Structure 1
Amino acid sequence: MKQALNLKPTPVWLAIFYSATSLAQIASDGSLPGKNKFDKVEINAKSPTDNEMRQRSLVAKRIYGREDIDRFGNINMADVLSNLPGVVIINGAPALSGLDPKYTKILINGDPAPAGWTAEQIDAALVERIEVMRSQTANKSSQAIGGTINIVFKSVPRKAEQTLRVGASYQNERPGPTGTFTTSGKAGDLSYSLPFSFNELLQTYRVNSLRSSLDSNNNFSTGYEEMYWRYNYISPSFSPKFEYTINDDEKLTSQSFFQNITRFLRHRFDRSVLSGVPASESDMDRDTEYKLFRTNLKWTKNLSEANRIEATAAFNRIVEADNLQTSRYAVPDFRRETKVSDTTQTYNIAFTHVANSQHVIATGFDILNKRKETSSLSLYLTQGLNPLASERPFFATSDTKSVYVQDEWEVDNQLALNLGIRAETITLTSEVPFAFAAQLDPFNASSASNQFSIWSPSLFVSYKPDASKKNTLRAGFSRAYKSPDVSDMDLIPIINRNAPDTSKTNNELLSDWTGNPALKPELAVNFDLSYEMYFNQTSSLSVGGFYRDITDITAEVTTLRKVYWATAPRWVSQARNFSHGTSYGMEIEWRAGAADLLPAAYTPANPLNFRLNLNFYGSQIDALPGPNNRLPSQYPWTATLGVDCKPTSNLTLGASAFVSPEFRRQVSDREVFEQSNLDWVNAFAQYKLDTKSTLRLGVNNMFPSTNRYSSFTTAAQSIQNRSGRTGITLTYDTKL
């Protein structure tokens, strides 16, 4: 365990804070101010376009505005993100740089997303733009090895207006309604925006599985299962935003989010025994109620033409109740009730100074406090009761304290530098109630703590070979990390509900689980290089490469061992720091309009635009045998091709196709994972009814295919075939 960083106000830290005249931070939107004073709080100039914000950013950044968000008529952000270049959705979570979603940091308006957050929770109608960055400057947490996705909500309109979006999505069984009503206005110096949303999502698909495993006599038992998967999601939400202008140089901003989510998940199995007595999954019914309250208050003040101070306080509260019941052959065999309370508080202060028209000077500190409390009661209705499998209380905390300094230096009209360093101290703790501690291993403590410190230097260079053009070369060096999760601090093992008899050895694919409070953070040294070229008004080409050198890679390692909660040896999965590894890749994004490709045939009234994205990824984990010892969830390559056209002044048509190859991954020295190729085609049609109203039809996965996922070990194997379905969305937008 590493020694904690001392963040007390020692002379060294005071020197860092008050030497701000030689250190600087990138502006909040990632751009250079270009002058030696701050804008007034009220800005009347026209907002920059997505391309203009991208060009102004010193760090390589992709920005997607309302055109990209609305293109396919997607209702929630999960579907929107799945259509963006370089973003892959894995089990509902977005991932960057070809890495697992755990390496991607998600921000909402620049603040960390709440615990348990999923992209489907955010109504796409509320979002103004999406910022995608492979590397992070020092003014934000460096816990982003894969990159950062910042989802920025719409700002408060400058005049009173009311907007309405209604629609429905259909995949199977019946349509799911959706609607968003927003009223905005101004009362004196107070501006407000009050969006009300309702979304319902209904999805179904089928999974066919062939499972084989060795029994106690070393004979293979084989069974075939067909699972029907049904997911229903209902979510009303309210996300008010207020801006209060105190004077031309000072304002208060508040963004809140209230959401009540109800989820229903159902699994139904048809089983066939081919040989022996194979392990099989149980039918499952699960309903979850998730309540989220999130709010923040931000104060911004221009102290002078060259000095600004910002202070933010945020509070996030989640209460979740989960009920799960399983049945085998119509006979209930397991029931679990879980309650989760998750509270997060965030505080940060930043001071920025502009010096000599060349430096943006800033320093700041952040405090992030998380508290998670879980109580779970499980009943094995057909098995003898194991106390550890019955009741699982859990309490954990995560406290992060950060300080940073950063210098953004505009050397001349061609060269700009960003130098920064960030220090973060993370403290994780967990404890078990005294009444329950006696059931644990007597050699283990009833509480645990883990503390470590991360220093994250960064250097980014932006260079324009020709100052009169927009073409830009960007290079970056930074350090990032992935902290252990608070769930890894859990001291109580989880006995697999499909193998609850602890007098018998379970199957490797039905392993138990235990936490690991001694985990160290994964540390990465990042190198990034990109070149952006712009052609006329509608065309651009971006080519970027990256390299990640990662130490203390964490993975779930499954081993057969003797455990205190069972009389027979058990297969147990536990997160461990087990290897060093590297990841690298190249990402190409090309956007072109017919005006640039075929100027002679171009008709201004009927534009035609093309989009192409190619990504190539590779990685090695040193502790695993090659050649397929890649990091989890990493595709060898992906490709996306899109086209939009406007046959009439009111009608816009478009489509996008995605493809990735089949690949194999060495999970451990005993397990291999295989995934078939993935492909889908999405299309949309938008018709402008009048100057205020638009009708949009979106079709996702027009030609559904079956995807195969396979896992092979020395003692078991599983082959799954998941069927896809076509989804249809119809939305109507209008300004009232």
Structure 2
Amino acid sequence: MPARQLRLTQIAAAVLFIYFATGAAHAEAEAPQAPAKQQAKPAEAAPMQKVEIKGAAASYDPRRDDTASKTVVTSEEIQKYGDTSVNDVLKRVPGITVSGAAGRSGGEIRMRGLGNGYTQILINGERAPAGFAIDSLSPDVIERIEVLRAASAEFSTQSIAGTINIVLKKALKAAQREVKFSEAKGSKFSSPAVSLQMSDKLGSTSYSLGANAWRYMYNRVTPSFDTGTDAAGIPNLDRAATLHDQGRADGMNLSPRINWTLGNGDTLTSQTFVNLNQFVSNSHGRTTTMLGKGPDYDRIDSTFSSHNGFGRTDLNWVHKLEEGAKLDLKAAVSDNRNTADSLQFGGNNGLPATLVRTVVSSSSEQGFSTQGKYSRPLTLVAAPADGKGEAPTEHALAMGWDAGITQRDDTRSQREATLPGGLPPDNSDEGFSAKVARLALFGQDEWNLTPQWSLYTGVRWEGLDTRSDGNNFDAVQQRSSVFSPLMQTLFKFPNKKDQLRVALTRTYKAPSTSSLIPRKFTSTNNSPTEPDRRGNPHLKPELALGLDASFEHYWGEGGLLSASASMRRIDNYTHQGLLYEDQRWVSTSINDGRAETRGIELEAKFPVRALIEHAPALDVRASVSRNWSRVESVPGPDNRLDQQTPLSATLGVDYKSPNGMLSTGSSFSFRNGGLARLSGTQGGYTSVRRDLDVYALWKIDTQNNLRVAVSNLLGQDYVTESLYSDASGTQNRLTVASGETQLRVTLEKRF
């Protein structure tokens, strides 16, 4: 009861914060009447500029105007809360959830409640390499985020749940220089950061440079509990463990871009993105057994360090042809390198260590890709001179290719010391290489049948060839291809406020390279809830047929009401199977029949002034998503696909003072959890997650801003549980990740 009262108090405090901020700003704007009259001429100039900007922005709305549905998160929305991780930005987007505990890295981005490869994440239209952490991407280098709920032929159709395309910043027409300093603080961590943005134009050449660096230091304790029963339901296991973990992560992003406008109107663009990360940690695990057998090691002390570097360079040439046609060519090279080493000591009952294990691993991945697209508008029926008769039929045709090759090399060396009372050393030297070649061909047509009705049709063929070999497994080769016909249509009702969308898609999910390699990764304390892991070279792609429909109502000045429904039928469904081999539990991916998922989503956003004429400048946004799924091979109830998030919701309010000097707002996001059955013997549980964030931005003058944001005001813990049950009994592991509130202060300066 006290915890609930505390959360209600924090919610009330956030609401009062916005209320008093809006009231104070409103009063401040209305009080100085006389000075405003004395400066009548300057006051008249500013509104004219606002009207011009507003008109330009309102001329095109991709969500409202594009036949292929697309929602765009603008740079202003991305920067609003001063986030340093793109995951924190995405958790506020309707229909998107981020798994894991608030404030911790490694959360999985999900659309329609699905992650694990069902949601496709792109950077500038291309998939990020294996091992690249999306949450290490700073929002300061992002220009916009595109959310595509239905597949289009131009992008890969590995998007059963949808696609999130992160577009990095481009060169601007006007000169701009901005630096930001920020400091975030919580009860168990601190995180300073600095970023720099520069852009300018010199004749026919423009450039931009984005750079940011950050550090994250933490010191936390994570408890876990193991319980079990025998076949008769009598308790036979009760263990409690604590993991004391402290560490530091450092990261840097660099994104230079240069645009050249050639004499014939062509453009040539070079864009580079560099991401560097390093991480060090020390952890101390202790386990106390109250009932039953203890773990192999009740004391585990570990040190871990890793270094990651990723670089990518694109060269893009756009050539204009006659009759509005255009040729868009792109080539890219990338390099990703990872190294990691760990030292682990394990012991029992306070005695000297009986396990000393060192592991050194490294991986490198080099890639080359090329993309090309030819597009042109086409009018089949000429417009009559008298303006009467049949309206012209307009087409936007495009066709192209997307090809690439990636070479990956991995090594892992493990050494264990020979110690009294210990097990025989398990020493190994593993190495493997994998080559992935892909080719995609596509064609699409956006057809305006009438001024109210448009139709998008597309086809895409994608082929993958994966080859791998290693020193401890036989060579593996797998080829797969998917042909995807796609259709989307948009009908705008005559009242110009209502519109209906329908989409039919065929999408797929290809196995990751690592899931195809039959390497085994061993766990220290092996159990059904902490098994070894191994790849499966016989995995097939999951294939999905999809249907989407939505109704949108636009009203007032920026108001939107939307209702949508979706369905996916998935064949060759993949999930983690659990085997018992050579006295050890092993988890591996397997194809297992069919799964279905369905969902509905409601969204609303509007300015309060659309309802109340003299209300403060408040903008309200809200959304609710409900998802259902069923896996045929898993007995119910709760046989949800990929531990799908069944219910999520967002609610936000933003305010801007009349003079534009103060902006403030709050956002609440909700994500339901619950029990999910993964197989006949395995299950998982996740707790509800509630995030409440507030922010305020003060424009001190034309060159200086102060931004203050408080994230995770509720400080809610995040609970997960792994469940195992068979004829011999049950075994469960519950883990509690503590939640904490974060305060971030950011100073922004233009020069």
Using the size of structure 1 for normalisation, the TM-score is 0.86
Letter paired with 1:449: Q
Q: 2:631 aligns with which of 598, 621, 633?
A: 621
Q: 1:569 aligns with which of 580, 583, 587?
A: 583
- The change in CA–CA distance for 1:608 and 1:204 in structure 2 (over 3 A counts) is farther
Cα pair 1:341 1:374 within 8 Å, conserved: yes
Letter paired with 1:339: S
Cα pair 1:281 1:498 within 8 Å, conserved: no
Counterpart of 1:226? 242
Structure 2 unmatched runs, 5+ = 1-52, 100-105, 380-392
Q: Which moved more, 1:282-291 or 1:249-258?
A: 282-291
Cα pair 1:171 1:203 within 8 Å, conserved: no
Deviation at 1:656, TM superposition (A): 1.3
Counterpart of 1:487? 514
- Partner-residue secondary structure (3-state), 1:575: strand
- Partner-residue secondary structure (3-state), 1:137: coil
Q: Deviations over 1:227-284 (max 9, x none)?
A: 2344532112321001011135311111101222112244332332212332258333
Q: Which moved more, 1:144-153 or 1:109-118?
A: 109-118
Deviation at 1:225, TM superposition (A): 0.8
Deviation at 1:213, TM superposition (A): 5.3
Counterpart of 2:91? 82
- The change in CA–CA distance for 1:205 and 1:536 in structure 2 (over 3 A counts) is farther
Q: Which moved more, 1:450-459 or 1:332-341?
A: 332-341
Structure 1 residue 421 corresponds to structure 2 residue 459:
yes
- The change in CA–CA distance for 1:247 and 1:93 in structure 2 (over 3 A counts) is farther
- Whole-Å separation in 2 of the counterparts to 1:282 and 1:51: 58
Counterpart of 1:7? none
Letter paired with 2:186: Q
Cα pair 1:427 1:450 within 8 Å, conserved: yes
- The change in CA–CA distance for 1:678 and 1:403 in structure 2 (over 3 A counts) is same
- Whole-Å separation in 1 of the counterparts to 2:128 and 2:57: 26
Q: How does 1:143-542 map to 2 (within 5 A)?
A: 143-172=158-187, 175-212=190-227, 220-279=236-295, 282-328=300-346, 331=353, 333-356=356-379, 358-381=394-417, 383-384=422-423, 390-432=428-470, 436-437=471-472, 446-466=474-494, 469-499=496-526, 507-542=527-562
Counterpart of 1:610? 620
- Whole-Å separation in 2 of the counterparts to 1:480 and 1:47: 36
- Whole-Å separation in 2 of the counterparts to 1:371 and 1:143: 20
- Whole-Å separation in 2 of the counterparts to 1:366 and 1:166: 40
- Whole-Å separation in 1 of the counterparts to 2:299 and 2:544: 38
Counterpart of 2:701? 690
Counterpart of 2:574? 554
Cα pair 1:170 1:202 within 8 Å, conserved: no
- The change in CA–CA distance for 1:647 and 1:361 in structure 2 (over 3 A counts) is closer
Cα pair 2:244 2:283 within 8 Å, conserved: yes
- Whole-Å separation in 2 of the counterparts to 1:716 and 1:286: 29
- Whole-Å separation in 2 of the counterparts to 1:281 and 1:661: 35
- The change in CA–CA distance for 1:142 and 1:538 in structure 2 (over 3 A counts) is same
- Whole-Å separation in 2 of the counterparts to 1:584 and 1:514: 31
- Whole-Å separation in 2 of the counterparts to 1:285 and 1:470: 60
Deviation at 1:721, TM superposition (A): 1.9
Deviation at 1:189, TM superposition (A): 2.1
Counterpart of 1:642? 652
Q: Which moved more, 1:243-252 or 1:140-149?
A: 243-252
Deviation at 1:222, TM superposition (A): 2.6
- The change in CA–CA distance for 1:118 and 1:184 in structure 2 (over 3 A counts) is same
Letter paired with 1:491: P
Structure 1 residue 132 corresponds to structure 2 residue 147:
yes
Letter paired with 2:209: L
Counterpart of 2:679? 668
Q: Deviations over 1:14-58 (max 9, x none)?
A: xxxxxxxxxxxxxxxxxxxxxxxxxxxxxx998645971221221
- Partner-residue secondary structure (3-state), 1:282: strand
Letter paired with 1:610: V
- Partner-residue secondary structure (3-state), 1:240: strand
Cα pair 1:254 1:296 within 8 Å, conserved: yes
Counterpart of 2:723? 712
- Whole-Å separation in 1 of the counterparts to 2:531 and 2:135: 30
Letter paired with 1:372: R
Cα pair 1:60 1:530 within 8 Å, conserved: no
Deviation at 1:174, TM superposition (A): 5.7
Cα pair 2:282 2:304 within 8 Å, conserved: yes
Letter paired with 1:254: S
- Whole-Å separation in 2 of the counterparts to 1:50 and 1:669: 55
- Partner-residue secondary structure (3-state), 1:487: helix
- Whole-Å separation in 2 of the counterparts to 1:414 and 1:236: 48
Using the size of structure 2 for normalisation, the TM-score is 0.84
Q: 1:591 aligns with which of 598, 605, 627?
A: 605
Letter paired with 2:153: A
Q: 1:721 aligns with which of 736, 739, 743?
A: 736
Q: Which moved more, 1:375-384 or 1:188-197?
A: 375-384
Cα pair 1:630 1:665 within 8 Å, conserved: yes
Cα pair 1:470 1:533 within 8 Å, conserved: yes
Deviation at 1:169, TM superposition (A): 1.5
- Whole-Å separation in 1 of the counterparts to 2:59 and 2:732: 48
Alignment RMSD: 2.4
- Whole-Å separation in 2 of the counterparts to 1:51 and 1:113: 29
Query: Matched residues, percent identical?
Result: 25
- Whole-Å separation in 1 of the counterparts to 2:464 and 2:171: 35
- The change in CA–CA distance for 1:203 and 1:409 in structure 2 (over 3 A counts) is farther
- Whole-Å separation in 2 of the counterparts to 1:260 and 1:138: 33
Cα pair 1:252 1:297 within 8 Å, conserved: yes
- Partner-residue secondary structure (3-state), 1:198: strand
Cα pair 1:164 1:735 within 8 Å, conserved: yes
- Whole-Å separation in 2 of the counterparts to 1:471 and 1:706: 42
- The change in CA–CA distance for 1:237 and 1:674 in structure 2 (over 3 A counts) is closer
Deviation at 1:536, TM superposition (A): 1.7
- Partner-residue secondary structure (3-state), 2:64: helix
- Whole-Å separation in 1 of the counterparts to 2:124 and 2:135: 17
Deviation at 1:130, TM superposition (A): 0.9
Cα pair 1:172 1:203 within 8 Å, conserved: no
Q: Deviations over 1:327-349 (max 9, x none)?
A: 33584632211101011211111
- Whole-Å separation in 1 of the counterparts to 2:607 and 2:259: 39
- Whole-Å separation in 1 of the counterparts to 2:598 and 2:247: 36
Deviation at 1:96, TM superposition (A): 0.7
- Whole-Å separation in 2 of the counterparts to 1:284 and 1:648: 56
Letter paired with 1:477: L
Give aligned pairs, total.
664
Q: Deviations over 1:476-519 (max 9, x none)?
A: 001111101111232332333334xxxxxxx2223222221111
